[in-house]
Structure 1
Amino acid sequence: MYHKNCNMKRSGSICFPVFLLFILASWPQRSWSQYLPQPSGKFSIGYHRFEWTDTSRTEILTADNVMRRIVADVWYPAEKSGGVTVPYLDTLAANRIFGNSGLQSLLGTQGATAVRSGKVLTHASEDAAFDPYVGLAPVVFFSHGMGMITQVYTAQIEDLVSHGYIVVALSHAYDAWLVSFADGRQAPFETKQRSAAGSTEEQHIAYENKRIEWWAADIRFALDQLVIINKMKNTGIPFAGHLDLAKVGAMGHSAGGRAAARACQLDTRIKSCADQDGVAMMQPFYLRSDGVGMKQPFLLFERVRNIPPDEADAASMGMTLTELNALVDSLRRNKEAALAATGGSFHVLLHFDSSSHMSFSDLPLLQAKNGVETAAAYRVLQVTCRYTREFFDKTLRGIAAPLFDGSRKLHYIDLVREYPKAGDHCQ
Structure 2
Amino acid sequence: MRFRASLLISTALLTSTLVPAAEPPKLPTPSGPFGIGRLSYDWTDTARLDTQGPDPKRNRELMVYLWYPTERPSSEPHSEYLPGAKQIDADPELGHQMHGGYGDVWPQILSGAVYSHAIENAPATKSPKQFPVVIFSHGMGGSSFGYTALLEALVSRGYVIAAIQHPGTADAVVFSDDRIAHEFHDTPPPGLTPDQMFHRMMDQTGKGIETGAADERFALDRLTQLNTGSHKQFALAGRLDLNRVALMGHSAGADFAARACELDARFRACIDLDGAMAPIEALPEYPDGKTIQQPLLFLEAYHDEAHIFGTHEQKLAFFQKEKEQLAKCPPGSYDVVLNPPGMMHGSFSDAYLVHSPNTPEQTTQALHNLTLAQSYILAFLDKNLKSQPAPLLDDPNTPHPDATIQHLGT
TM-score normalized with structure 2 length: 0.85
Q: Which amino acid aligns with 1:156?
A: L
Give deviations 1:342-391, integer Å, cap 9, x for gaps. Answer: 22321111217522211111111111112222121111111111111111
How far 1:204 moved relative to its partner? Answer: 2.8
For residue 267 of structure 2, give the secondary structure of its aligned residue in structure 1.
coil
Deviations 1:233-268 (A, max 9, x none): 231633211101111000111000010010100100
State the match for 2:357 in structure 1.
369
How far apart, in 1, do the equivalents of 2:348 and 2:187 lie? 25
Q: How many residues align?
A: 382
Q: Does structure 2 retain, via aligned residues, the 8 Å contact 1:110–1:369? A: no
Kept in 2, the 8 Å contact 1:79–1:128? The answer is no
Determine if contact 1:76/1:130 at 8 Å carries over to the other structure: yes
* Aligned residue number for residue 45 of structure 2: 54
SS in 1 for 2:323: helix
Q: Separation in 2 of the partners of 1:81 and 1:44? A: 6
The answer to whether structure 1 residue 382 and structure 2 residue 371 are counterparts is yes
For residue 70 of structure 2, what is the amino acid of its counterpart? Answer: A
For the pair 1:37 / 2:28, whether they are aligned, the reply is yes
Structural mapping, 1:17-96, within 5 Å? 31=23, 34-61=25-52, 62-63=54-55, 65-80=57-72, 85-89=78-82, 90-96=84-90
Matched, 1:154 2:148: yes
Q: 1:377 to 1:369 in 2, by over 3 A?
A: same
Tell me which of 104, 108, 115 is aligned to 2:99: 104
Which residues of structure 1 form unaligned runs of 5+?
Answer: 5-28, 318-323
Corresponding position of 1:164: 158
Instruction: Map residues 306-317 of structure 1 onto 2, 5 A cutoff.
Output: 306-307=304-305
Distance 1:206 1:412, change over 3 A: farther
Q: 1:396 maps to which residue?
A: 385
1:402 Cα offset (Å): 2.0
Render the CA deviation track for 1:4-57: whole Å, top value 9, x for unaligned.
Answer: 9xxxxxxxxxxxxxxxxxxxxxxxx875x6211111211111111111100111
Alignment partner, residue 189 of structure 1: 183
| Change in CA separation of 1:2 and 1:46 when aligned onto 2, cut-off 3 Å | closer
2:126 is paired with a residue of what secondary structure? coil
Structure 2: gaps of 5 or more residues: 5-20
CA contact (8 A) 1:86 1:122 kept: yes
Identity %: 32
Counterparts of residues 234-245 of structure 1 (less than 5 Å) = 234-235=231-232, 237-245=234-242
Larger Rg over CA atoms: 1
Change (3 A) 1:2 1:233: closer
Kindly tell me: are residues 104 and 411 of structure 1, through their superposed partners in 2, closer, same or farther at Cα, counting changes over 3 Å?
farther
- Tell me if the contact between 1:296 and 1:343 (Cα under 8 Å) persists in the aligned partners: yes
Shift of 1:131: 1.0
User: Which stretch of the first structure deviates more once superposed, 374-383 or 234-243?
Assistant: 234-243
* In 2, Cα distance between equivalents of 1:391 and 1:76: 19
Question: What is the alpha-carbon distance in structure 1 between the residues aligned to residue 243 and residue 373 of structure 2?
Answer: 25
Q: Quote the offset at 1:196 in angstroms.
A: 5.1
Asked whether the equivalents of residues 128 and 238 of structure 1 are also in contact (C-alpha less than 8 Å), the reply is no
- State the Cα distance separating 1:85 from its structure 2 match: 4.5
Which residue, out of 335, 360, 378, partners 1:347? 335
Aligned residue for 2:103, secondary structure, equals helix
1:56 maps to amino acid? A
Residues 291 and 209 of structure 1, relative CA distance in 2, 3 Å threshold:
closer
Q: Which residue is 1:254 aligned to?
A: 251
Cα distance, 1:290–1:75 mapped onto 2, change above 3 Å: closer
SS in 2 for 1:404: helix
1:342 aligned counterpart, secondary structure: coil
- Distance in 1, matches of 2:94 and 2:291, equals 43
Given the superposition, is the C-alpha separation of residues 382 and 186 from structure 1 closer, same or farther in structure 2, using an over 3 Å criterion? Answer: same
What per-residue deviation string (whole Å, max 9, x for no partner) do you get for residues 107-140 of structure 1?
x324324312311111111111111112211100
Deviation, structure 1 residue 65: 1.8
3-state SS of the aligned residue for 1:65?
coil
